Amino acid sequence: MLALTATTVVHPAGCGLDTLWTAAAHSRSGLQPNPLDWCTLDAWLGAVPGVDEVPLPEPLAAWDCRNHRLVWMALQDTVFVQAVREAVARHGAHRVGLVLGTSTSGIRSTEIAYAQRHASGCWPEGFDLRRSHTGDALARFTAEVLKVAGPMATLSTACSSSAKVFLTAQRWIEAGLIDAAIVGGADSLCLSTLHGFDSLQLLSPRLCRPFDATREGISIGEAAGFALLERGKGEVHFVAGGESSDAHHMSTPHPEGLGAAQAMRAALDAAGLTPSDIGYVNAHGTATPANDRSEAAALVSVFGERGVPVSSTKGITGHTLGACGIVEALITAEALRHQQLPPSANLLRPDPDLPLDLVTAARDTKLQYAMSNNFGFGGSNCTLILGRSN
């Protein structure tokens, strides 16, 4: 059992966990018609407000890219940074590990540089792929800002990336390698994912509507979020997680949700809990026809028809891809803290073919344990269980 000692997040609805929770609880979406001047796709997106106006300060300027700007914005949270400083003081910088998730890291910088290389034959002066695009850039930049010196990993399993970080950190703590871990992740808007999902006809031309009868696909968002994990109980703690692979298809989930159900059962087993102990599931709920059908089948197989309150908060943040694991873990933690279930955003008419207990309006509840699901390309599934201290 690991306490979430401190957290921070930036997301399309604003900065900080309070704004994220308020937006989720009141169904205030951070999505808007594509505002990017470098992408002409007809889609709704979740851009983090102000990301274009926050270049990194001079000592860190070599790391500048859209992804690191999101990280930098998240790490302006003085309460979180102070908690990390105190953890470093308590345990030593080498005893604080870093496990982060991303799918595309700072690839937007390489897209810009590649276009210039294509046009002129030369890479832009000073372009540094190692400090922007590659997977290690995210972990090294974050370690540099937070002054931690423990073991590090960047996990990249598409949309389960920043959920799986909790399990890796837990193993490192249990093995005695570290006493505390910073987990989280960041993913930023880029042509690769926007055009990639468009090519698969998974990008909704309108606002995404998870679990709705009229859902047409995802709205892509961007975010960065972090949690400090330490042994012991906090107000909210990470209890256990479960992982699995679909072994079915690279970009389509298993139609009956076999892998998703296996991840949920593995999480319950690892937590020593039964389905009836879970009071809320924050679904992966991407709003593609196939994902929501598959996930509903998995939820029914684990919890029974309408067996547990479920909502997707991707209508608020968009699908933040490699960052959705941490963003939705933090929303789930807030649900436990507030003893309130956030509604499934942007619902017009719940899909009658999905036998789910969809949360359609925020409601108060008594909540001891809650679950967060995230599934990704390659059939990578991860379920987290968070709990509230008595």
Partner 1 sequence: MSRLRFSLHAAGVLAPGLASLDALLDAARRGTPLTLSGDPLALPAPSALPPNERRRASRAVRLALACVEQAVADTPFDVSTLRSVFATDEGTGEVCQQMLETLATTRQVSPLVFPNSVHNAPSGYFSIAHRNRQPATVVSLGEDSFASGLLCALTEARATGEPVLLVAYDPALTTPLDELLPLREPLGTAWVLSATDTPVQGPVLGRGELIVAPAGDSPAAPWRPAWLPEAWTHHSSARALAALGLLAAPAGSALTLPLGGLHLTLTLRPAA
Single out the catalytic residue among 68, 190, 284, 324: 284
Give Cβ neighbours of residue 92 (< 8 Å, ≥ 6 apart).
Answer: none
DSSP result, 15-65:
ESHHHHHHHHHTT----EE---TT-----EEEPPTTGGG-PPPGGGGGG-S
Phi, psi of 82 (to 5 degrees): -65, -40
182: left (phi > 0), else alpha (psi -120 to 50), else beta?
A: beta
Could you say which of 23, 158, 299, 327 contacts partner 1 (CB under 8 A)?
A: 158
Site for partner 1 in 293-352 (CB under 8 A): none
Query: CB of 21: closest distance to partner 1 in angstroms?
Result: 30
Cβ proximity to partner 1, 250 vs 366, nearer residue: 250
Strands 152-155 and 180-187, by their bridges, are: unpaired
Cα separation, 134 vs 183, in Å, equals 18
Active site residue 159: yes
For partner 1, the closer of residues 28 and 94 by Cβ is 94
Q: Which of 26, 85, 249, 363 binds partner 1 (CB under 8 A)?
A: 249
Angle at 43 between CA 196 and CA 32, to 5 degrees: 130
Query: How far apart are CB 128 and partner 1 at their closest, in Å?
Result: 9
Region near partner 1 per CB under 8 A, out of 23-31, 305-313, 358-366, 370-378: 370-378
Number of H helices, E strands in the chain: 11, 17
Q: Give me the least distance between CB of 241 and partner 1, in Å please.
A: 10
Q: Is 291 helix (H, G, I), strand (E, B) or coil?
A: helix
Q: Is 122 a catalytic residue?
A: no
Residue 64 lies near partner 1 (rule: CB under 8 A): no
Give yes or no: 319 in active site.
yes
Task: Tell me if 62 contacts partner 1 by CB under 8 A.
Answer: no
| Catalytic residue from among 159, 208, 324, 382 | 159
**Sites for partner 1 among residues 171-200 (CB under 8 A):** 171-172, 174-177, 191-192, 195-200
Measured from the CB atom, the residue of 248 and 337 that comes closer to partner 1 is 248
d(CA 35, CA 254): 34
- Could you say which of 65, 319, 324, 382 is catalytic? 319
Nearer to partner 1, 94 or 337 (CB): 94
The position carrying tokens 């967060």 is: 372
How far apart CA 219 and CA 321 sit, in angstroms, is 10
Interatomic CA distance for residues 261 and 291, integer angstroms: 13
Report whether 131 contacts 62 (CB < 8 A).
Answer: yes
- Residue 372: CB minimum distance to partner 1, A: 17
Number of residues that bind partner 1 (CB under 8 A): 69
Binding flag, residue 233, partner 1 (CB under 8 A)? no
Question: Residues 75-114: x/- map of binding to partner 1 (CB under 8 A)?
Answer: ------------------xx--xx----x------xx--x
Q: According to CB under 8 A, which one of 164, 209, 215, 319 is a site residue for partner 1?
A: 164
Size (the chain), residues: 390
Determine the interface stretch with partner 1 among 46-54, 222-230, 258-266, 363-371 (rule: CB under 8 A). 258-266
Would strands 44-46 and 32-33 be described as parallel, antiparallel, or unpaired? antiparallel
* Footprint of partner 1 on 136-155 (CB under 8 A): 136-137, 139-140, 143, 148-155
DSSP code of residue 124: P
The C-alpha atoms of residue 185 and residue 321 are separated, in whole angstroms, by 10
| Pairing status of strand 32-33 against strand 223-231 | unpaired
Q: What's the CA gap between 54 and 73, in Å, rounded?
A: 8
Instruction: Please pick, from the candidates 28, 91, 206, 248, the single residue that binds partner 1 as defined by CB under 8 A.
Output: 248
Among 49, 124, 205, 378, binds partner 1 (CB under 8 A): 378
Tokens of residue 160, six digits: 């389960």
| Residues at the site binding partner 1, with contacts judged by CB under 8 A | 93-94, 97-98, 103, 110-111, 114-115, 117-119, 123, 127, 129-130, 134-137, 139-140, 143, 148-158, 164, 168, 170-172, 174-177, 191-192, 195-201, 243-251, 258-259, 262, 376-380
Mind telling me the catalytic residues?
A: 159, 284, 319
